[in-house]
Amino acid sequence: MAIKIFLALVLAVMMPAGGQKVDVQPTDSVNAIVFFDEMNAKLAGAETRFGDLQPIQNPSSAIKQAAARESEVMEKLFKHRWAELQSVATVTENGDDILLARWNASQNFSSVKGVSVWDAPGFNLFFFEVNPSSLGSPDALRSLWQELFLFVTPPVDIVAIQFRTLHDAASTTGIVGMGWVTHNRNPGREDLRGYELYLAAYRSSSRGYICVWAGKRLIPSIFNSEDILVAERFPPLRDRLRPMRTLALLKEFHNAPERDLVVAREILSRKLTEEEFDQIFDAAPLEQLPLRVYVVMGEVFRLNKVGEFHAAIANLFNRYAKEGQGRTAPLEMILRSFRGSKEIDFSNMALDLISKGVAIRESVIYLEFRGSSVEIADKLQELPVPIELERQKQGAVREIFKRAGAWDRVK
């Protein structure tokens, strides 16, 4: 991966001066270009699926809504409108519900014969069918990319395109070109899924395509952020969960953050007893407990239900604290979830954990955000911590003194 990132940076530096937005250059290989492996894994299989597509005659409302969202994405990314939806179908691949949709050609973009979309939970993969001969020409590819994309237009604000095409693209099948898009929706984190915008040229035995992989977080407001990366879509997972009994919902946690968030939201929408609240966590296998705690407690905070579950949360924290090292990770998740909450205060418990050598780092961080009295600061100051956390502890002490108004104690 590091080599691919380095190559991307080198090629970006090589982009011609003078404000050229689309740079297409021939090359001997595209295998080392960023995102090649992901594209390579999807394109052939997706193209085959489109060839076998059996259209749905009476699509459900969820399918219609998904296709409508794809139209919105195309309006935000591309210059031309593909208004005539030809067919839709769904498939399941590795547990993910996929929408396959096909639009007829746009009257204003004669170079493209039609567009198909592989709509996965976390991304869209667009296939624009073009004349296969154009894939062997850098000039033709440059023209296609220039005519396809909206440049310097919110919300994505595309700045430039870098694309590399094989010298022998005219006689090769499979991926014959790869590229990427420089845009202003990049959150600055390479590991953050959902903001990808990568390009490919793909040639089968009889057809040619230019392809666009667009993450679903790239364009705000179109996709429900709570549904992105949730595999069950047709019907939506949240619709299937709604009529289920609360105890049955506990079996729907799969130790998958996005999916479990949907389950947690449904459970927390109900009036729960303290016993039912405890069962959410007691039913979790030990290895799944940290994620279960983090997802559910984070949702309690986000939904402003801390007051409703205050006693249950405090009792659960005390129970885990008594169990000590065996519950370190769940304790850390609770502290992390409620750093910003003023409805529940674990300051004294955090001090106690530090004194016992349990969850020290997370406890110090919690006190830095939440500790509010001179007494708490003095107690933290006296507690020994590992040498690598000493500076962080001193910083937390200063923040607590400031919060307490004890400016004379701030060093």
| Same domain? 206 vs 127 | yes
Q: Answer yes or no: are the C-beta atoms of 262 and 226 closer than 8 Å.
A: yes
Same-domain check for residues 210 and 152: yes
Q: Does any domain span residue 131?
A: yes
Same domain, 189 and 251: no
pTM of the model: 0.83
Phi and psi, residue 392, nearest 5°: -65, -40
Continuous segment of H or E residues that includes residue 333: helix 328-337
For residue 180, what are the β-bridge partners?
162, 198
Note the pLDDT tens digit of each residue in 183-240.
888 665 555 678 899 999 999 988 999 999 999 988 878 988 778 899 999 999 999 9
- Same-domain check for residues 174 and 32: yes
Q: Kindly report, residue by residue over 335-387, the tens digit of the pLDDT.
A: 999 999 999 999 999 999 999 999 999 999 999 999 999 999 999 999 999 99
Q: How many CB atoms lie under 10 A from the CB of residue 139?
A: 9
Phi (first) and psi of residue 335, to 5 degrees: -60, -45
Q: Do 380 and 291 fall into the same domain? A: yes
Q: Are residues 267 and 146 in the same domain?
A: no
Among 149, 182, 215, where does a domain finish?
A: 215
The domain of 341 spans 237-409
Q: For the chain, give the number of residues.
A: 411
152, 185, 215: which is the final residue of a domain? 215
Domain annotation covers residue 291: yes
Phi and psi (nearest 5°) for 156? -85, -35
Is 224 inside any structural domain?
no
Residue pLDDT, tens place only, 34-67: 899 999 999 988 988 888 778 888 999 999 999 9
Across the beta sheet with 123-130, the strand order is 22-27, 158-166, 174-183, 197-203, 208-215, 123-130, 114-119, 96-104, 85-93
Domain membership of residue 225 (yes or no) is: no
Task: Examine residue 36 and state whether it is found in any structural domain, yes or no.
Answer: yes
Mean predicted lDDT score pLDDT of the chain: 90
Phi, psi of 117 (to 5 degrees): -130, 130
> Per the domain annotation, does 226 fall within a domain?
no
Q: DSSP 3-state assignment of 94?
A: coil
Confidence (pLDDT) at 165 = 96
Q: Which residues partner with 116 through β-bridges?
A: 102, 127
Q: 111-151: per-residue pLDDT in tens?
A: 999 999 999 999 999 999 999 999 999 999 999 999 999 99
CA pair distance 283, 57, nearest whole angstrom: 42
> 334 with 300, same domain?
yes
Asked whether residue 203 falls in the same domain as residue 258, the answer is no
CA 211/CA 50 separation, integer angstroms: 14
Q: Parallel, antiparallel, or unpaired: how do β-strands 85-93 and 22-27 relate? A: unpaired
**Domain boundary at 158, 185, 215, which?**
215
Q: Residues 265-308: pLDDT tens digits?
A: 999 999 999 999 999 999 999 999 999 999 999 999 999 999 99
Euclidean distance between CA atoms 177 and 171, whole angstroms: 13
Supply angle C-alpha 248, 302, 342, rounded to 5.
125
**From CA 87, how far away is CA 108, in angstroms rounded?**
21
Residues 259 and 206 in one domain: no
pLDDT-derived band at 243 (thresholds 50, 70, 90) equals very high
- Structure-token pair, residue 126: 């667009």
Q: Report the SS3 class of residue 177.
A: strand
Q: C-alpha angle with apex 12: 222 to 133, nearest 5 degrees?
A: 75
Number of domains making up the chain: 2
297 and 208: one domain?
no
In a domain, 221, yes or no: no
Beta-bridge mates of residue 114? 104, 129
The secondary structure element, H or E, covering residue 318 is helix 310-323
| Radius of gyration for the alpha carbons in the chain, expressed in angstroms and rounded | 26
Same domain, 334 and 207: no
144 and 263 co-located in one domain: no
Would 74 be classed as within a structural domain? yes
Segments of 56-157 assigned E as strands: 85-93, 96-104, 114-119, 123-130
